[in-house]
Amino acid sequence: MYQQALKGREKALGQDHPSTLDTVNNLGNLYDDQGRLTEAESMYQRALEGYEKALGRDHPSTLTTVHNLGNLYADQGRLTEAKSMYQQALKGREKALGQDHPSTLDTVNNLGNLYDDQGRLTEAESMHQRALKGKEKALGQDHPSTLETVHNLGVLYANQGRLTEAELMHQRALSGFWVALGPSHWKTQLATENLDCLLQTTKDSSAITKPPPLKAKMTKLEKLREKFRGFLKERRRPPS
């Protein structure tokens, strides 16, 4: 459908019209979801170049694609480039939309994920706490986006070995997803699996008389964290 829409918009509006570029960006989202990362990057780069020319560097649509490129680079392990994109998106969104706008908070959330990936856990916690506070105020405590940031804090606490706090965050996220999305939704099911994994890690840690080797503990926590990564990078389409 996106390819059909793109072809039609290119013909009717031109390759660099903002509506055409919206479809280019969204096709990049689709390719990213499909794991076609080279094609996704090509779409995002095209959309970004067009938006900057047509709308300017600080337009919300431009910043959406900058944010999406940050997601893509993070998924590819290109963390330095991802950080640059997120910081550009965050600065622009704070200026254009405000510090507490949901799109701004999406970038705060994802920058927290990036800092977590880099082992900068204090900075990661600061970002996640800011995102959570802002989302609770703007969207409510039980909004799915808020709950995803709750999940992020749970993952961070697990990485720090703060398993009791991690369990509280995961319990809250799971309960919220269950009510907001239903028990059969994939996010609810994934949250259930993640909490079970955390509880097993906690059980294994308490069932032995001496602490497990640090390497073994961190391997378990890393496996847990990897399971969470599937739905924690929030991405948005250009604003209509």
Tell me how far apart the alpha carbons of residues 83 and 30 are, in angstroms, rounded to a whole number.
22
pLDDT at 215: 43
Q: What is the pLDDT of residue 167?
A: 94
Q: DSSP letters along 160-205, please?
A: TT-HHHHHHHHHHHHHHHHHHH-TTSHHHHHHHHHHHHHHHHHHHH
Under CATH, which number does the domain 1-98 receive? Answer: 1.25.40.10
One-letter amino acid of 136:
E
Instruction: State the pLDDT at residue 193.
Output: 87
107: helix, strand or coil: helix
Q: How far is CA 151 from the centre of its chain?
A: 11
Q: What is the pLDDT of residue 87?
A: 97
Global pTM? 0.83
Instruction: State residue 236's pLDDT score.
Output: 54
Rounded Cα–Cα distance for residues 42 and 170 (Å): 36
At residue 5, the pLDDT reads 86
Amino acid found at 231: F
Q: What is the pLDDT of residue 240?
A: 44
Closest Cα partner for 32 from 80, 81, 65, 1?
65
SS3 122: helix
Q: What is the pLDDT of residues 107-149, one digit of tens each?
A: 999 999 999 999 999 999 999 999 999 999 999 999 999 999 9
Q: Note the pLDDT of residue 7.
A: 85
Yes or no: say if 109 and 234 are a contact pair by the CB < 8 Å rule: yes
**What whole-number distance in Å separates Cα of residue 27 and Cα of residue 35?**
12
Residue by residue, pLDDT tens for the chain (240 residues) are: 788 888 889 889 999 999 999 999 999 999 999 999 999 999 999 999 999 999 999 999 999 999 999 999 999 999 999 999 999 999 999 999 999 999 999 999 999 999 999 999 999 999 999 999 999 999 999 999 999 999 999 989 988 999 999 999 999 999 999 999 999 999 898 888 889 988 988 776 655 444 444 444 445 445 444 444 444 455 555 554
On whether the CB atoms of residues 166 and 210 are closer than 8 A, the answer is no
28 CB neighbour count, 10 Å cutoff = 28
Percentages helix, strand, coil for the chain (3-state, rounded to 5) are 80, 0, 20
